[in-house]
Amino acid sequence: MGSPLGLVHIYTGDGKGKTTAAMGLASRAIGRGMKVKIIQFFKRDTGELQPLKQLGANYEQFKPLHPFFRDYSSDALEDLKQHFGEFWNEQIAQVQTGEFNMLVIDELGPALAYKIVPEETILQLLKEKPAHLELVLTGRGFPQSILEKGDYVTDMRLIHHPYDHGVQARRGIEF
Predicted confidence (pLDDT) per residue in 73-91, tens digit? 778 778 878 888 899 999 9
Query: Within a domain: residue 4?
Result: no
Q: Give every CB contact of residue 155 below 8 A, 6+ residues apart in sequence.
A: 12, 13
Confidence of residue 30 (pLDDT cuts 50, 70, 90): very high
Position 167 in a domain: no
Beta-carbon contacts of 54 under 8 Å, excluding residues fewer than 6 positions away, are none
Q: 32-69, pLDDT tens digit by residue?
A: 999 999 999 888 778 898 999 999 999 999 876 665 55
Say what the pLDDT of residue 70 is.
61
- pLDDT at residue 19 greater than cutoff 80: yes
Rounded distance between C-alpha atoms, residue 126 and residue 160, angstroms: 33
Strand segments, DSSP code E, in 42-113 are: 58-62, 102-106
Residue 174 lies in a domain: no
Give the model's confidence band at 3: pLDDT under 50 very low, under 70 low, under 90 confident, else very high. low
Q: Where in the sequence is the domain holding 28, given as residue range(s)?
A: 9-131+151-159
- Residue 66: its pLDDT value, please? 61
The reply to whether 116 falls in a domain is yes
Decide if 96 is inside a domain.
Answer: yes
- Picking from 72, 61, 78, the residue whose alpha carbon sits closest to that of residue 116 is 78
Residue 162, pLDDT above cutoff 60: yes
pTM, whole model, 2 decimals? 0.87
* Residue 18 within a domain: yes
Contact predicate 137/108, CB 8 Å: yes
Determine, yes or no, domain membership for 80. yes
Per residue in 100-154, pLDDT (tens digit) is 999 999 999 988 988 888 999 999 999 999 999 999 999 999 999 999 999 999 9
- Asked if residue 58 belongs to a domain, the reply is yes
Structural domains counted in the chain: 1
Determine contact, residues 58/94, Cβ cutoff 8 Å: yes
Q: What is the CATH number of the domain that holds 43?
A: 3.40.50.300
How sure is the predictor about 165, in pLDDT bands with cuts at 50, 70 and 90?
Answer: confident
pLDDT score at 37 = 98
